[in-house]
Amino acid sequence: MSCASGLSTVEVMRVARERFIQFSSRRHADDCMADHVLGSTAFGLSDQETKDVGLAHLLLACAEKVAKKQYGCAKKLQNLCDFLSSSSGNSVQRVVYYFSKALQQKTDRETGRNTSQGSESRDVAAMHVEEAMAALSPALMACFLEVPFFQVTEFAGIQAIVENVASSKKIHFVDLAIRTGGHCIVLMQALATRYECPIEMLKVTAVGVKSRNKIEDTGRRLAQFAEALKLPFTFKIAMVKDIKDIKEGIFELDTGEAVAVYCPLLLSSTMN
């Protein structure tokens, strides 16, 4: 078995294991974060080989956290493994995808979650993820998959929000650039698998200056995905003539909900 790069899958895993041992010996202060894994390069490897090795490294780090029963940290790494791997990708991505699912099932058993129901829910959710991704612009998807910067920064932004609303059961996610909603899918997956504080309601408000029909289409896809995850969900749209017209009054804010604002590097495209 070989991957799309020059190294075989076995060789990629061997390089990842060696690098994992090196990183472990350095005792990173916060090895839950993936920046030092995905942001580093391996001498002599192509770009694709470096990405494959980094992905395999994340899987090994996740497995170590599960073995140590550090489930909170393991979940952060497992979310990223799910995000960057695929059941239809190259051989390394497929290996990571299925091993990541196995680690999730092990975590479910050890934390007392209903594994049979959870497994079924994840299978259905995976189908909806593929449907949602299929609806994206091919050009946008190609750019997203080939440029690690987008993957890492998007995950880091969503992960920061997840960590800051860890104790909140009602979350209002204000999105200033929802577009196809791929980052919302990542957020919803993370919230749906929270153990300590189950979500009572996730409300997404998409702010738009044009293309209301496209935003509505995105909302329908996200609602289908939330239903597959059994995640309480509502979707609202706040249209403004200019991004500078945003005021607190345009949002339906409820008492007791935590408000998070997602503002990627896209403001220039929303200003007239």
Least reliable range by pLDDT among 70-84, 159-173, 257-271:
257-271
Q: What is the pLDDT of residue 234?
A: 96
Give the model's pLDDT for residue 258: 95
Residue 270: which H helix or E strand, with range?
Answer: none
Residue percentage of the chain with pLDDT more than 90: 15
Q: pLDDT tens-digit profile of 207-236?
A: 998 889 989 988 998 998 888 778 999 999
| pLDDT value at residue 116 | 47
Look at residue 203 and give its three-state secondary structure: strand
Q: Reply yes or no on whether the pLDDT at 46 is more than 60.
A: yes
Buried b (16+ CB within 10 A) or exposed e, 75-95: bbbbbbbbbbbbeebbbbbbb
Query: What angle in degrees, to the nearest 10, is found between the helix axes of 47-67 and 9-26?
Result: 60
Return the pLDDT at 140. Answer: 56
Q: What pLDDT, on the 0 to 100 scale, is given for residue 170?
A: 96
| Distance of alpha carbon 78 from alpha carbon 243, whole angstroms | 35
- What's the pTM value of the predicted model, to 2 decimals? 0.54
Which domains, and CATH codes, for the chain?
1-113 (no CATH), 115-272 (3.40.50)
**Rounded Cα distance, 160 and 79, in Å:** 13
Token pair 């495209």 is found at 269
Phi first, then psi: what are they for 33, rounded to 5°? -80, 145
Give residue-wise pLDDT tens across range 94-142: 899 889 888 888 888 888 765 444 444 444 444 444 444 444 555 555 5
CA atoms of 246 and 76, how far apart (whole Å): 33
